[in-house]
Amino acid sequence: MANRIAVLEDRPEIVTLYTVLFESFGVSHGLNLQAFSALEGQRHFEVVLMDYSIPGDDFDTSLAYVKAHLPKAHRILISGHVDTESLATRYGQDFQRIFAKPVDIIELRSFVERLMNISVSA
Amino acid sequence: MIFILIFVVGSLPVSLSFFMFGLYGNSRLSRAFFYSMCTITFWQWDDTSLYAATSLHYGTVLFLVRFFRLGQFMSIPLFVNLVRVILSSDGSLSKSFSARLGRVVFSRRSFIAYLVVSLILYGINWTPFDIASLSLDRTPYDFFFKVHYGPLDILYLFYLSTFSFVLLFSFIASRSIISRDIKFFVVTINGSYLTLFLVGMVSFLPHQQYIQNSLVTLVTSAFIAFSFMKMYNKALFEHSRLLARKSKLEFTGNMTNSLVHEFKNLLTSVKGSADVLASGINSEALVNNIVQGSKQMQRLVDSYQKFMREGDMNPTLELANVNSLVSSAIEFVIPFTDSLGVTVYFEGNQNIEAFVNESMLMQVVVNLVKNGAEAIPANAKVKLVKVLLSEFNDSFIIDVIDSGSGVEQSKWQSIFQDFTTTKATGSGLGLPFSFKTVVAHRGKIGVVASDSSGTHIRVTVPKNKVDHLISIGG
């Protein structure tokens, strides 16, 4: 069965955490946009978790890529940025939800599960 | 030839203020000071014209006398303008009587009012109603033209007498000035103008008056220039101190922001892993996340404390041979670069000696070479870090050029001020430490060029320790 969640995150330990957390859904990841864009058959991903700051990547470019290639996937932004409010103002429309790091992982899981149920019922 | 002496002495105020332009640049205050000093020079050149009786025609002298009287007419508005600029730069918001008086008398409106009256009277000056004619007279040493005034000259005398009130108001207003040096300057120009004014008004009565005029101009110009330089130097010093403090705050702010960002990532991993484990999911990988994340946080705290302790902003500088210093630093880092398969090439200069903190600057070279070596991909065809030592004027330059994958231009500055690392075990403080150390040496560090073929970082440090001389005075 194909993985349902895609993660764009540069920190391997956080990717590990997501992989265990969403084991039942299956997680594919890229540590940067180049690696992420190489993921096979992207259109089946239902949720995309995106980190805001990835060394070497421009966030707007990454977002444009995700919107273009995974148009139906729910997008969640996870940010360690100092000013999360300004991110919410700028990107609020582009994401189902913005989580500030350190993320409440249980809440994140519940939210993703809700999205998945919606996704399944839809 | 007396007129040549008066001309030269009279040129002094404008020459000094012109010199200030070169020294301090074209600021609002420099300009106001220059215009004000021009009036003193013109006033003196007005006298000069009268003493050119044997060298110039009557008509020419009459023209020059009327023309240079511009200095006398404009002295009040331009003095008002100078004090206005000074008061506005002091930023005093006191509600005292002297401060309020200063704001009224030395306002833009007063300046414009005085300017208009001055220009009207200067226009009358060109008619026989003010200066009617000149007649030849003589001192024991030379001939000069004596001025015969017309009926409207009384307006000029009345107008000029208001200068004494302006000087009085300026003196009162100066009491509200906060800065001691600005106050000293205003009091000095007040005293100087008062002296010049009194001496100028009684000119030509005794025949030796021109000597007295010249002497007073000479002395007051020197006083005014000295107090202006004292005030401006102090202002520049304060300004540079403010910039240094701002830069330090920005540096600390950037460091803190980037450290917070790093901790947020580590906390996400550690806390998230703990929460998942607590929810009943067993995972060896998550236990490892907690162990490694905690260790990394500990390492960061230790490194940061070390950075704050070692990054002394007032290091002891001693004369050292920079070539030996760089060479020793490279020897120290060679085992590390060898382990990465990177060659270090050093091109030195035996003769460079400078006042530096040897151990701190050595660490800078170690950091830069290590950083350069780490930036080279493992599969790179060329694995080389070049270190070049040279000198330029009073500084020595260390260039570190690696064959790595380069740094985005948008990060050329931030890599020295942000806590940044892509290495799981790195402290991320190597470049900020280098930045802090080089700044403490009054030097500069920055990326000169960077692309996919490598990065060129340049460190420029002054060889002397002249700021220590300044700090003795302060």
Query: What is the model's pLDDT at position B468?
Result: 47
Q: Is the pLDDT of residue B55 over 90?
A: no
Please give the C-alpha separations between residue B317 and each of B3, B313, B394, B469, in angstroms, as whole numbers. 56, 11, 16, 13
**Interface with chain A: mutation pick from B260, B266, B269, highest number of A CBs within 10 Å:** B269
Q: Does B287 touch chain A (CB under 8 A)?
A: no
Q: What is the average per-residue pLDDT within B134-153? A: 82
Query: What is the model's pLDDT at position A15?
Result: 92
How far is B372 from B224, CA to CA, in rounded Å?
55
Query: What is the model's pLDDT at position A98?
Result: 93
Q: What is the average per-residue pLDDT within B8-34? A: 85
* Phi–psi pair at B361, nearest 5 degrees: -70, -35
Which chain A residue has its CA at the smallest distance from B272's CA? A105
Taking one residue from A and the other from B, the number of pairs with CB-CB distance under 8 angstroms is 66
**Interface with chain A: mutation pick from B265, B267, B421, highest number of A CBs within 10 Å:** B265
User: What percent of chain A stands above pLDDT 90?
Assistant: 49
Cβ-based contacts of B268 with chain A (< 8 Å): 14, 17, 78, 80, 101-103, 105
- Of B149, B160, B165, B150, the closest CA to residue B204 belongs to B149
Residue with tokens 């220059």: B34
How far is B15 from B22, CA to CA, in rounded Å?
11
Query: What is the model's pLDDT at position A21?
Result: 93
Q: Does A24 touch chain B (CB under 8 A)?
A: no
- Tell me whether strands B143-149 and B131-138 are parallel, antiparallel or unpaired: antiparallel
Instruction: Report, in this order, helix, strand and coil percent for chain B, each rounded to 5.
Output: 65, 15, 20
- Under 8 Å CB-to-CB from A12, ≥6 apart: which residues? A31, B424
Q: What is the average per-residue pLDDT within A64-92? A: 88
Q: What is the average per-residue pLDDT within B9-18? A: 88
Beta bridge partners of B390: B397
Q: What is the average per-residue pLDDT within B79-83? A: 88
Work out the minimum CA distance from A54 to partner chain B, whole angstroms: 10
Q: Does A11 touch chain B (CB under 8 A)?
A: yes
Please give the C-alpha separations between residue B344 and each of B358, B388, B449, in angstroms, as whole numbers. 21, 11, 19
CB contact under 8 A, B268 and A53: no
CB contact under 8 A, A11 and B269: yes
Helix (H) or strand (E) run with residue B255 in it: helix B209-278
Query: What is the model's pLDDT at position B428?
Result: 61
Buried b (16+ CB within 10 A) or exposed e, B399-416: bbbbbbbbbeeeebeebb
- Under 8 Å CB-to-CB from B119, ≥6 apart: which residues? B73
* Phi–psi pair at B250, nearest 5 degrees: -60, -45
CB contact under 8 A, A103 and B293: no
* Phi–psi pair at B459, nearest 5 degrees: -115, 125
- Tell me whether strands B353-356 and A27-30 are parallel, antiparallel or unpaired: unpaired
What's the first-to-final CA gap in chain B, in angstroms?
47
How far is B74 from B42, CA to CA, in rounded Å?
10
Model confidence at B470, pLDDT cuts 50, 70, 90, reads very low
Q: What is the average per-residue pLDDT within B448-465? A: 90
Cβ-based contacts of B275 with chain A (< 8 Å): 104-106
Q: Does A69 touch chain B (CB under 8 A)?
A: no
- Under 8 Å CB-to-CB from B183, ≥6 apart: which residues? B174, B175, B177
Model confidence at A81, pLDDT cuts 50, 70, 90, reads confident
CB contact under 8 A, B272 and A56: no
Of A13, A101, A106, the CB nearest to B289: A13
How far is A42 from A38, CA to CA, in rounded Å?
9
Q: Are the C-beta atoms of residues B361 and B325 closer than 8 Å to each other? A: yes
pLDDT tens, residue by residue, B167-218: 888 888 888 777 788 888 888 888 888 888 777 666 545 566 677 778 888 8
Of B257, B260, B269, the CB nearest to A17: B269
Query: What is the model's pLDDT at position B430?
Result: 77
Query: What is the model's pLDDT at position B473?
Result: 38
Q: Does B265 touch chain A (CB under 8 A)?
A: yes
Query: What is the model's pLDDT at position B471?
Result: 45
Cis amide linkage into residue A102, ω under 30° from 0: yes
- Under 8 Å CB-to-CB from B343, ≥6 apart: which residues? B337, B383, B384, B385
pLDDT tens, residue by residue, B413-439: 778 876 665 454 455 677 888 888 888
Q: What tokens were used for B155? A: 């307006």
Q: Does B408 touch chain A (CB under 8 A)?
A: yes
Of B5-9, B270-274, B413-417, highest mean pLDDT: B270-274
